[in-house]
Chain A
Amino acid sequence: MFQITDIPRLLPEILLLVLALLVLGSDIFEKWGRTQEAQLERVRSSASLTAIGLGLIFFIALVQSGYIPFTVVPETAAPNFFINIVRNLQAGGPVGEPITGAFATDHLTMISRLTLIGAALLTSLLCLDYRPTAHPAEFYALILFATLGMCLMAGATELIIAYLAIELTSIPLYILAGYFRNDMRSSEAGMKYFLFGALSSGILLYGMSLTYGFTASALAGNSLGNNLTEFAQIASLARIADNQGILTLGMIFMIAGLGYKLAVVPFHGWSPDVYQGAPTPITAFVSTASKMAGFILLLRLLTTAFPGLTGTAVWGELSGWTSALALLAVLTLIVGNLAALPQTNAKRLLAWSSVAQAGFVLLAFVAWAAPQTFDRDQGTVALLYYLIVYTLTNLGAFGALAAVSMAVGGDEIADLNGLARRNLGLAVLMAICVLSLAGIPPLAGFFAKFYVFMVSWQSGAEWLVVIAVLTTVISLYYYLRLLKAMFMEPPAAETPVTAPPGITAAVVIAAAGLIILGLFPNLILGILSQVQTVAGF
């Protein structure tokens, strides 16, 4: 049953919706002119409204989560206005059963929300000085709608909500990818993204319908509940009913469908073209936030709906979804890294690198095959840490690239030539992000990779870790090529490259985050490890 007291638990989602509508509505009151300045002003006002709004929502969600120690009000504190607000907010914090069995507001959702909203915030900073578009408000509102969909994806515990959330995420992203209608590549990106997305939705739905068929027939005769699509219900019916084959088939289709959204090899065909063609801030957003949401949904789906099919990824006894994901991981790592080697376009190179990074994320799923709960929980923590770090890193890298291509007019690797002499600060920031992607300590990307290797090894998939470690060496070659272009090649022109303040701010936040999280992973590991109290099965 949905109750009024559940409303605060949905506060971040509600606020995102309100903000999106506000951004759309406020544009009407702007001065609509045809001149460049007037357009820029409209872009600015929509963008700043989005950025400020997202900042506020992020802050509110942070207070609500109670993860920051000083925002937790002691029981004994005398009530006053602020303390009452904080207490009311935190009453809707990460606790309780899923709302109507469909949407969980546990720690996993809360952490994902914070990351997703944070990613959207950085994206809106990246867009602050991006090319003025015809209807800026739509652009930002679509980002907000997509963010809303992602938050719902992260919390969905039921098939229908999951599907709706995926569509709510995807459709705005299709439009955003093709936003520059006059640009051939952008239109191509939008079209391709849409076609592949529609196909993958079909596959996903087919898997869901098979699963529904299983649960419905398992309860045949005494079908009372309307909860046949809830993840937990699927799991409990799977324990008593036979005819598991259909369930396995449904799961495989769902993994494939989500695999498309996550651009996991062999479902990755669309991603390099889309990433290259989309406006760079949107590429950053798609490659980070939408992947994060997809991975969280995949984790929740597989662990709560299909615990019986977990299997193991130990070499020689491969079975269950852990080994399916292990094989996908191997493919993704090898294909992603090898395909990135010959690229000459920096954006496309980063796109392939994002494909490869998804392979490392999949390694963390394999940890679920470990027999001890403790090790499985470590797997979840490693997954979240990796996703958070990866989000920061990729936003930073694409952000820095956006600044360069705005100033230089292209995003080939050659356009990065001599960046260190044209803008040393920007080159260093980008180098930090790139090195973190490559997994060089003491940046956070290193510990993220190392942690993922650890949990995967622990579950017995040593062979997988060995392959993954070796692919990091391949990946180093193309990351070093970016470094080489920025630091060693002579610049094409001596004129300094200036980065707009919005992008600079976003990239600085990302790079600082990478250094801080790399040196002190414990800052968030403690928070992330709270996930274990809920995510078990």
Chain B
Amino acid sequence: MGLFTLATDIPWLSLIWLSMAVPAVIIALIPHQHKEAMRWVGAVFAFASLVLSLLVFLAYEPGRAGFQFVERLNWMPQLGISYQLGVDGISLPMILLNGIVISTGALMSWNIDTRVKEYWVLLLLLTTGVYGVFVSLDLFLFFVFYELAVLPMYLLIGIWGSTRKEYGAMKLTLFLMAGSALVIIGMLALYFGSGLRTFDMIVLAQNVTLAGNVQRIFFPMLFLGFAVLAGMFPFHTWSPTGHVAAPTAVSMLHAGVLMKLGSYGCLRAAMWLMPAGANTWLPVVAGLALLNVVYGATIAMAQRDAKYIIGYSSVSHMGLVMLALAAGTQLALMGAVLQMFAHGVMTALFFSVVGRMIYERAHTRQLPELGGLYKVMPFATIMFIIAGLSSMGMPGLAGFWSEFIIFLGVWERYPLVAVIAVLSIPITGAYILRAVWAVFFDEVKNPELLKLPKLTWQEYTGATILVLILIGVGLYPAILTELIDVGVRPIVAQLEGITLAGR
């Protein structure tokens, strides 16, 4: 926004990821009986990272496009690997999103009572990785953070998860690691194929010297490697299983932020650095993403487990993001980034209601066993409905803008695909309303449910923050779109084969 300027001699972006890495170390040193202290350290630092992200967000000047707050240190200069950070209009909303999700996720983690220390250390390590990916401008560094974000997930799900947790954890990790194997191959192709011998993304993007046919071979690998994490059909199956198995805060981070790492990687690494390959392959991606959108929504209709519904709804919504990436126009990419943000907040809200407020009390998420919860937790009902409305694209909520812009953008490139994709909206409406009815308003099937304990202050605070953001962005989307608009321009230019002067 460029509201104020931050001191330039402070490494703000490093501070952001350090604000997650440092408390991980602190918590590791706290004696294990002080559980409350660990929670407070984790939550306070999570909010500190949110504040830092907000500062950077507000101080970024959209008028002066390109990367700002750039930091650069030599890491392995002889190999062209450097520690290079910077943010632009695409990464800023993502950083902010991560700050929002981790701070509310920290509030929703208060009830974790077994092996508290390990939980918080892993959760914070995961977030360190996510922040790191969004701020790094060196492909190698990017990958290091990327892996750091994936691996803690295995233990987090496997130890603190529910339903088929070990299976879900292993499946998720293997899928994602197979994705990163493909990413490594793509990285090496970029490094050697370009002849530049550097992993500096700005340099690689400025002179795309990679031959067109080489790009066409390796673009699918790089793109697919990241798209696995974004849940692209047919490699999405890990995602609902993983979401369902994970503990609440991890589901929130996972669906809310981690899947965005995938689409962010697709955009930032694959499409930006291999535009010729992208132009060839994006129609295929569009086809697959369309399947995601419609198939994901249809499968969500048929689920009985509330978390599975949200899991498949994530597949469907991330499909919209991938569809927009495949369209590759200015509008579509803008919609994609906005959708990543909107879906992140919305799905975090969904999981905090279903995973934390309902499941932790009722110990079931099966729709036929729930019902009438409106009487016990009206707050949760309202939260769920608002998230649902955003997911259906109700005007006035963040989801409306992102989906609207995506459909506009996709129409420009693939009108027929856009028409089919719009089908997902009524289906989404149907499964959300079905879930709302079955969980909150249907007759009370189990009288025990009426005696559930009250919500805690952490749950109220967390959910309220998320809802306010959904509404805030819904009412004034320009707070993000202005930035995103500037951010995606170079990529669109790259795809159209024009290199903007002076970038």
Contact = CB atoms under 8 A, between A and B. Distances in A.
The answer to whether A and B assemble together is yes
Interface of A: 420-421, 424, 435, 440-442, 446, 450-451, 453-454, 457-458, 462, 465-466, 469-470, 472-473, 476-477, 480, 483-484, 487-488, 521-522, 525, 529
Interface residues of B, number: 28
B151 interface: yes
B45 interface: no
26 contacts: A420-B115, A421-B115, A440-B151, A441-B143, A441-B147, A441-B148, A442-B148, A446-B147, A450-B184, A454-B191, A457-B188, A465-B185, A466-B185, A469-B185, A473-B178, A473-B181, A476-B173, A480-B173, A483-B155, A484-B158, A487-B159, A488-B159, A522-B75, A522-B76, A525-B78, A529-B78
Given A424-B118, A441-B144, A525-B76, A458 B192 contact: yes
Contacts of B177: 472-473, 476
B384 interface: no
Interface string B124-141: 000000000000000010
Closest 5 CB pairs of A and B: A441-B144, A488-B158, A469-B181, A473-B178, A457-B188
Nearest to B121: A428
Q: Most chain-A Cβ atoms within 10 A of its Cβ — which of B76, B79, B118, B192?
A: B79
A487 B144 contact: no
Contact of B158 (A454, A487, A521): A487
Given A469-B181, A487-B155, 12 more contacts: A424-B118, A441-B144, A446-B144, A453-B184, A465-B185, A469-B185, A472-B177, A476-B177, A477-B174, A483-B155, A487-B159, A488-B155
Contacts of A525: 76, 78
Nearest to B143: A441
Interface string B179-215: 0010011001001100000000000000000000000
A488 B118 CA distance: 12
B154 interface: yes
Contacts of A521: 76
A427 to B, nearest CB: 9
A465 B185 CA distance: 8
Nearest to B165: A488
A134 to B, nearest CB: 42
Contacts of B75: 522
B192 to A, nearest CB: 6
A421 B140 CA distance: 35
B181 A472 contact: yes
B14 to A, nearest CB: 14
Nearest to B28: A428
Interface of B: 75-76, 78-79, 115, 118, 140, 143-144, 147-148, 151, 154-155, 158-159, 166, 170, 173-174, 177-178, 181, 184-185, 188, 191-192
A519 to B, nearest CB: 9
Contact of B184 (A421, A435, A469, A477): A469
B147 A484 contact: no
B181 A470 contact: yes
B154 A483 contact: yes
A525 B191 CA distance: 20
B174 A476 contact: yes
Contacts of B192: 454, 457-458
A472 B76 CA distance: 24
Contacts of B173: 476, 480
A468 to B, nearest CB: 10
Contacts of A442: 144, 148
Nearest to A472: B181
A430 to B, nearest CB: 14
Contacts of A477: 170, 174
A291 to B, nearest CB: 25
- Most chain B Cβ neighbours within 10 Å, of A446, A451, A473: A473
A479 B143 CA distance: 20
Contact of B174 (A421, A465, A473, A487): A473
A431 B158 CA distance: 15
Contacts of A473: 174, 177-178, 181
Nearest to B75: A522
Contacts of B158: 484, 487-488
A454 B79 contact: yes
A488 B114 CA distance: 12
A29 to B, nearest CB: 45
A476 B147 CA distance: 13
A473 B170 CA distance: 12
Contact of A435 (B79, B151, B166): B151
Nearest to A421: B115
Contacts of B151: 435, 440
Nearest to B188: A457
A472 B174 CA distance: 10
Given A469-B181, A473-B174, A480-B170, A454 B188 contact: yes
Nearest to A526: B78
A475 to B, nearest CB: 10
A236 to B, nearest CB: 32
Contacts of B188: 453-454, 457, 462, 465
A463 B181 CA distance: 14
Contacts of A462: 188
Nearest to B140: A450
A473 B177 CA distance: 6
Given A446-B147, A488-B166, A480 B154 contact: yes
A521 B178 CA distance: 25
A470 B148 CA distance: 19
B125 to A, nearest CB: 10
A431 B25 CA distance: 17
Contacts of A435: 151
